[in-house]
């Protein structure tokens, strides 16, 4: 049986730079940083006092207050992104509608309801077991967002959740595409989120020496591939894509951002937090995505890198890119938009897939900001500090997670495939 084609017909995001795709894209091209002093909680006890928060997020803009209070912050972020993507795609379902059984959702998260977990543990310690919320368990569940979106948008097809650390929402997009390819569904909401800016998460990552400590200059903290990088900027946010079978989209006259053509996965099988030296695992994921798509490495124009701004990741990813792309690696544009958004953990892959698709559809490559001092070990074209107009027919998006989970997604312009 011939594998069905998958296209992207809707995009949505809520992240540290903006609350919608258009404003987000404009902020990226301006080279704006989402880093700022923490406002979501009292950070006085922490060594690192800044993060990339979703600023001024009002959940009641998306749901009535009573309903919104039943969701963890992370779930509300994904709900908001999904609402945007559904509207953008111009597709919706009524409860019990036959088409709803052919529409589903895959949502990825690295940690799930960590904010609720911390809040309710405080309630338990300070006020006793009887005061723990009856909604605590549903709000903590990693799959709450997938379930909520399935119920709220009447998606009665496949509904599941991926939990693979920082690769989670990239896995969600790839898994959702496979569901459509197999003929199990025609439309899938795919993406993920993280509401990770909490005291507990900040303390844990800082204890690992993973965070940048530039309290004096937060907007310069995330500097992927730069020699003076000292750790990542913790962020939060969500991204949602509407994936659709090509003929289904064409028959209803949908606008198409691009085609999903490749999904690659691998495991480092090395260390719970560190990447395998040399980048062999990451290279296999990229090669698998190319093989899945039947795309030659020389046909890739742009890579949205995982690019966390940690010493180990950026060197390893550079080596992996050179391993897969050979001489063409020198011609590739590679940028890390985490320099602006921070690292949204499980939400990163989805938001960066939105960026890859906008790059393909707009012909502009967002920059890596804060790139001032080249690192001899990171010697590719990282699109430093300024966006670049360039035709991009094929874009790769990398997401690598703790546990050694590696995911690469490949998107291509429809004009390049039809």
Query: Does residue 161 carry a catalytic annotation?
Result: no
Per-residue pLDDT for the chain (418 aa), expressed as one digit of tens each?
678 999 999 999 999 999 999 999 999 999 999 999 999 999 999 999 999 999 999 999 999 999 999 999 999 999 999 999 999 999 999 999 989 999 999 999 999 999 999 999 999 999 999 999 999 999 999 999 999 999 999 999 999 999 999 999 999 999 999 999 999 999 999 999 999 999 999 999 999 999 999 999 999 999 999 999 999 999 999 999 999 999 999 999 999 999 999 999 999 999 999 999 999 999 999 999 999 999 999 999 999 999 999 999 999 999 999 999 999 999 999 999 999 999 999 999 999 999 999 999 999 999 999 999 999 999 999 999 999 999 999 999 999 999 999 999 999 998 765 5
Catalytic residue among 166, 248, 378, 405: 166
CA distance 86 to 93: 10
Query: Does residue 166 carry a catalytic annotation?
Result: yes
In this predicted structure, what is the pLDDT of residue 42? 96
Same domain, yes or no: 152 and 291? no
Q: What is the pTM of this model?
A: 0.97
Of 199, 222, 251, the one marking the end of a domain is 251
Same domain, yes or no: 229 and 296? no
Q: Is residue 256 part of a domain?
A: no
Same domain, yes or no: 215 and 331? no
Classify 172 as helix, strand or coil.
helix
Catalytic residue among 107, 161, 248, 343: 343
In this predicted structure, what is the pLDDT of residue 11? 98
The answer to whether the beta carbons of residues 212 and 343 sit under 8 Å apart is no
Sequence-ordered list of residues with C-beta below 8 angstroms from that of 359, at least 6 positions apart, any chain: 302, 304, 365, 366, 392, 395
Range of the domain at 398: 264-416
Same domain, yes or no: 91 and 173? yes
CA 180 distance to own-chain centroid: 20
CA-CA distances (angstroms) from residue 349 to 2, 66, 70, 212?
Answer: 28, 30, 26, 21
Of all helices (H) and strands (E), which one includes residue 361?
helix 348-362
Closest C-alpha to 275, from 212, 232, 319: 319
Same domain, yes or no: 98 and 158? yes
Query: Does residue 19 carry a catalytic annotation?
Result: no
Same domain, yes or no: 299 and 161? no
Same domain, yes or no: 205 and 315? no
In this predicted structure, what is the pLDDT of residue 417? 58
Same domain, yes or no: 181 and 324? no
Same domain, yes or no: 103 and 50? yes
Same domain, yes or no: 131 and 232? yes
CA distance 143 to 187: 19
Half-sphere exposure of 406 (CA within 13 A, CB side): 28
Number of domains in the chain: 2
CA distance 186 to 249: 9
The answer to whether the beta carbons of residues 320 and 383 sit under 8 Å apart is no
Q: Is residue 396 part of a domain?
A: yes
The answer to whether the beta carbons of residues 357 and 28 sit under 8 Å apart is no
In this predicted structure, what is the pLDDT of residue 415? 73
Give the domain CATH number at 377.
3.40.47.10
The answer to whether the beta carbons of residues 241 and 10 sit under 8 Å apart is yes
The answer to whether the beta carbons of residues 89 and 243 sit under 8 Å apart is no
Q: Is residue 341 part of a domain?
A: yes
Of 194, 226, 251, the one marking the end of a domain is 251
The answer to whether the beta carbons of residues 179 and 173 sit under 8 Å apart is no
Token readout for 115 is: 């904010």
Token readout for 368 is: 């890596």
The CA angle 404-405-406, to the nearest 5 degrees, is 110
The answer to whether the beta carbons of residues 149 and 238 sit under 8 Å apart is no
Catalytic residue among 107, 161, 248, 306: 306
Closest C-alpha to 7, from 362, 250, 244: 244
Closest C-alpha to 366, from 16, 83, 31, 103: 31
Residue 365's DSSP bridge partners are: 388
CA distance 356 to 395: 6
Residue 160's DSSP bridge partners are: 106
Q: Is residue 257 part of a domain?
A: no
Same domain, yes or no: 207 and 283? no
User: Exposed, middle or buried by CB within 10 Å (0-12, 13-18, 19+), for 46?
Assistant: middle
Same domain, yes or no: 151 and 242? yes
CA-CA distances (angstroms) from residue 273 to 163, 196, 268, 413?
Answer: 15, 17, 10, 34
Of 251, 273, 303, the one marking the end of a domain is 251
């Amino acid at each position: 049986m011939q594998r069905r084609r998958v296209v992207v017909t809707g995009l949505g995001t809520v992240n540290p730079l903006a609350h919608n795709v258009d404003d987000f894209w404009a902020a990226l091209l301006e080279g704006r940083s989402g880093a700022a002093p923490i406002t979501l909680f009292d950070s006085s006890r922490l060594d690192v006092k800044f993060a990339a928060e979703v600023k001024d997020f009002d959940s009641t803009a998306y749901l009535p207050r009573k309903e919104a209070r039943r969701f963890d912050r992370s779930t509300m972020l994904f709900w908001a992104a999904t609402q945007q993507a559904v509207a953008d795609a111009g597709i919706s379902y009524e409860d019990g509608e036959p088409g709803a059984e052919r529409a589903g959702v895959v949502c990825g998260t690295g940690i799930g309801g960590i904010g609720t977990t911390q809040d309710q543990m405080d309630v338990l310690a300070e006020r006793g077991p009887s005061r723990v919320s009856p909604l605590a368990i549903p709000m903590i569940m990693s799959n709450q967002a997938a379930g909520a979106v399935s119920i709220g948008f009447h998606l009665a097809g496949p509904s599941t959740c991926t939990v693979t650390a920082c690769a989670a929402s990239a896995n969600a997009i790839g898994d959702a595409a496979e569901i459509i390819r197999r003929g199990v569904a025609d439309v899938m909401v795919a993406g993920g989120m993280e509401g990770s800016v909490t005291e507990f998460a900040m303390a844990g990552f800082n204890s690992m020496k993973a965070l940048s400590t530039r309290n004096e200059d937060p907007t310069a903290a995330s500097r992927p591939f730069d020699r003076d990088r000292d750790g990542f900027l913790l962020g939060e946010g969500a991204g949602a894509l509407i994936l659709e079978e090509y003929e289904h989209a064409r028959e209803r006259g949908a606008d198409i951002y691009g085609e999903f053509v490749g999904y690659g996965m691998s495991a480092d099988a090395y260390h719970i937090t560190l990447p395998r030296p040399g980048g062999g695992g990451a290279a296999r994921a990229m090669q698998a995505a190319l093989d899945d798509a039947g795309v030659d490495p020389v046909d890739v124009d742009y890579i949205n890198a995982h690019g966390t701004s940690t010493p180990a990741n950026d060197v390893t990813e550079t080596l992996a890119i050179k391993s897969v792309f050979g001489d063409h690696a020198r011609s590739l544009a590679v940028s890390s938009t985490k320099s602006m958004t921070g690292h949204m953990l499980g939400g990163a892959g989805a938001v960066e897939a939105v960026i890859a698709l906008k790059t393909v559809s707009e012909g502009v490559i967002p920059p890596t900001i804060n790139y001032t001092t080249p690192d001899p070990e990171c010697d590719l074209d990282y699109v430093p500090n300024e966006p670049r107009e360039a035709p991009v027919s094929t874009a790769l998006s990398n997401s690598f997670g703790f546990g050694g989970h590696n995911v690469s997604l490949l998107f291509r312009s429809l004009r390049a495939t039809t």
